[in-house]
Amino acid sequence: MARVTLGLAALGTVLLTPDSFEVLATLTVVALVVAGLALRLAGPDLVLLAGLTVLLALRVVAPDAAFSGFSNPAVLSLAGLLVVAAGVRETGGLDALAHRLLGTPRSLAGAQLRMMLPVAFLSAFVGNTAVVAMGVPIVQDWARRLGRSASKLLLPLSYAAILGGMCTLIGTSTNLVVYGLWVQRDPAASVGLFDLAAVGVPALVVGVLYVLVASRALLPERRAGTARVLDNPREYSVVMRVEAGSPVVGRSVEAAGLRHLEALYLAEIERGGTLLPAVGPKTRIQAGDHLRFVGVVERVAELRRIPGLVLAEEQAAKLREPSPERCLVEAVLSGTSPLVGKGVRESRFRTRYNAAILAVHRHGRRVEGKIGDIVLEAGDALLLEAHPSFTDAYRSHGDFLLVREVENSQPPRREKAWMALAILGGLVALVALSILPLLTATLLACGAMLLTGCLTGTEARRALDLRLLLAVGAAFGLGEAVQQSGLAPYLAQRLLDAGAGQAPVVLLLALYAVTALLTELVTNAAAAALVFPVAWRLAENAGLPVEPFLFVLMIAASASFATPIGYQTNLMVYDPGAYRFSDYLRFGLPLQILVAAVVVAAARLLWL
């Protein structure tokens, strides 16, 4: 053990002595970027773009290379996958997937296990970026239904996808890069689809167990939407009717996922014209029940996504447009509105505006009672159901002080759910069977979503998360800077120079450490390609088989757990999980060390 420690210390001393301006400048900028992310000076997109701009100004990286990330197939595929995921979400297909695959586990560990196992399995064959892009909205909705913080589930989602990709040769593009270089060096080499599982599966098992044990203490309890909800705390009371055939019929309030809703609660149930005396978690829901919910407007909108729940307000049923074309709108009455002083029923609001009043908020409190009997006052905030064109038509109208559409408040197009799921299934099949590259298959799926009406053009544009795409594209640009500056080749060459005479375990640990470090700085495939000749030479110089070195290289190039910028799936869950840089370091660094130990130990036992 002492020999291993001394060997690693010697390697570290040799590796960290940069000898050129470009290398020093790149190291400094990367350190500042990491500090900016850790201190939350700005969003990750702005911090990464700022770092890239500084390196451009110092002429460490050429403009073409700096912005190559924005034309990278991986980034374009990510943009397309966001659109495909939106198509599945807007048709209610995500609800069906979550219900069938994830269920309603009672414990956090049970929820994490139910999620991580299918994610790891899919990632072994489809690719972790696609799985996480589809999984984020599913897990967000599922966490909300379970009454759990998404921050307890989204980082495990990313880690499960990364660990799953380590188990097969096609799990990540990085594995294929190493395999291609391997065959180029040794045409007689043959690596099976599941050969990598010998070291990947133990890492997956240890990783899942670590998440189940450590997440309760090390992962934060944080909600991404809290700030937005507090900025607009208006509460409304709305009534939803339970339709026959709804999946909530016959289930208890708790089992139906209606008990722990965020910023929303079930206040009462009316059945057959009579209020139930008390609504508890064991109360069973029946068809025809009227459920009165109280909560902030953004959460009220989410009720429309629950299958079989429809707005009970009679005036809404009389609107000209079909229900899937309507959205929720908040409008504040002006003092000059002709509606002031009139009851809702006598105001003929639906006829005048082609919109139905669902609830009223006044002076910081929700207004109770039948909607038709409420007398409107200046400054009342009205929750409406209307066509999306209502917002543009009345935003500058004198009758209202404020008009805004509630985001994602249109009910799903459930009649197209099967079509959206079929498109998603086709995408998975095309990629898993290597019939088409991910980018081509994703673009075809996007086109199919639009042509079949699963998604509108406006919804597709809204699905493109510009902050995420900017952050990922800038991260690729920083990786190019690390490579062009000479920092990455410098570290790889220093590892080769320092490896002479070291024990096999020291060589494997050093190979893992340097590869994992480069993975945080450049793309995974670039890190693997840079370190491949070093790994090969280390094996040759020590007179050892190349298999343990190359399999450790494959794993280490994908094993990014300690920062949000090392792997794009980590960056994809950063904002949705309301994470901080320190969360990745605190929760991911022990996992990084565990995976390194398990992989090196497995390689040592199997080949050395």
pLDDT for res 252:
85
Residue, of 397 and 211, whose pLDDT is higher: 211
Distances (CA, A) of 413 to 304, 325, 326, 420, 450: 11, 9, 11, 10, 13
Q: Which amino acid is at 69?
A: G
pTM listed for this prediction: 0.70
Per DSSP, the three-state class of 204 is: helix
Q: Which amino acid is at 250?
A: G
The span from the CA of 40 to the CA of 35, in Å, is 8
For 439-448, what is each residue's pLDDT tens digit? 888 899 999 9
pLDDT for res 492:
66
Neighbours of 558 (CB within 10 A): 29
Tell me the pLDDT band of 233, cut-offs 50, 70 and 90. Answer: low
The span from the CA of 496 to the CA of 231, in Å, is 56
The span from the CA of 132 to the CA of 270, in Å, is 41
Give the residue among 448, 364, 353, 340 at the shortest CA–CA distance from 84: 448
Do the domain assignments include residue 245?
Answer: no
Do the domain assignments include residue 96?
Answer: no
Share of the chain above pLDDT 70, in %: 89
Residue found under tokens 């993975």 = 519
Q: Which two tokens stand for residue 428?
A: 């998975």
The span from the CA of 240 to the CA of 320, in Å, is 20
Q: How many domains does the structure of the chain reveal?
A: 1
Task: Give Rg (Cα) of the chain.
Answer: 28
The span from the CA of 327 to the CA of 427, in Å, is 30
Residue, of 38 and 29, whose pLDDT is higher: 29
pLDDT for res 13:
46
Do the domain assignments include residue 501?
Answer: no
CB 7 within 8 A of CB 551: no
Do the domain assignments include residue 64?
Answer: no
The span from the CA of 167 to the CA of 575, in Å, is 28
pLDDT for res 496:
66
Do the domain assignments include residue 367?
Answer: yes
CB 174 within 8 A of CB 248: no
Pairing of the two strands 365-366 and 309-311: unpaired
pLDDT for res 470:
85
pLDDT for res 37:
74
Tell me the pLDDT band of 232, cut-offs 50, 70 and 90. Answer: very low
The span from the CA of 266 to the CA of 239, in Å, is 10
Q: Which two tokens stand for residue 542?
A: 């020590």
For 172-227, what is each residue's pLDDT tens digit? 777 877 887 788 778 887 777 788 889 999 999 999 999 999 999 999 887 654 43
Domain of 385, in residue numbers: 327-409
For 366-380, what is each residue's pLDDT tens digit? 888 778 888 999 888
pLDDT surpassing 60 at residue 524: yes
Complete DSSP assignment for 396-438: T-TTEEEEEEPTT-SPP-GGGHHHHHHHHHHHHHHHHTTSS-H
pLDDT surpassing 90 at residue 116: yes
CB 387 within 8 A of CB 354: yes
pLDDT for res 109:
92
Average pLDDT, the chain: 81
Do the domain assignments include residue 376?
Answer: yes
Do the domain assignments include residue 498?
Answer: no
Angle at 373 (CA atoms; ends 367, 378), nearest 5 degrees: 55
pLDDT for res 14:
45
For 538-555, what is each residue's pLDDT tens digit? 888 778 898 999 999 999
Neighbours of 212 (CB within 10 A): 17
Edge-first strand listing for the sheet containing 309-311: 274-275, 264-271, 290-296, 235-242, 309-311
Q: Which two tokens stand for residue 88?
A: 């599945």
The span from the CA of 131 to the CA of 115, in Å, is 12
pLDDT surpassing 60 at residue 165: yes
Give the residue among 75, 66, 198, 41 at the shortest CA–CA distance from 485: 66
What's the length of the chain?
Answer: 608
User: Residue 378 belongs to a domain with what CATH number?
Assistant: 3.30.70.1450
For 285-326, what is each residue's pLDDT tens digit? 998 888 888 878 777 777 777 777 887 766 555 555 556 677
Tell me the pLDDT band of 2, cut-offs 50, 70 and 90. Answer: very low
The span from the CA of 483 to the CA of 393, in Å, is 53
pLDDT for res 228:
41
**H or E element in which residue 356 lies:** strand 355-362
pLDDT surpassing 60 at residue 24: yes
The span from the CA of 330 to the CA of 384, in Å, is 6
CB 595 within 8 A of CB 555: yes
**93 Cβ partners below 8 Å, 6+ apart?**
87, 417, 420, 421, 424
Do the domain assignments include residue 371?
Answer: yes
Give the residue among 110, 98, 99 at the shortest CA–CA distance from 216: 110
pLDDT for res 563:
86
Give the residue among 476, 580, 529, 510 at the shortest CA–CA distance from 48: 476
The span from the CA of 79 to the CA of 465, in Å, is 8
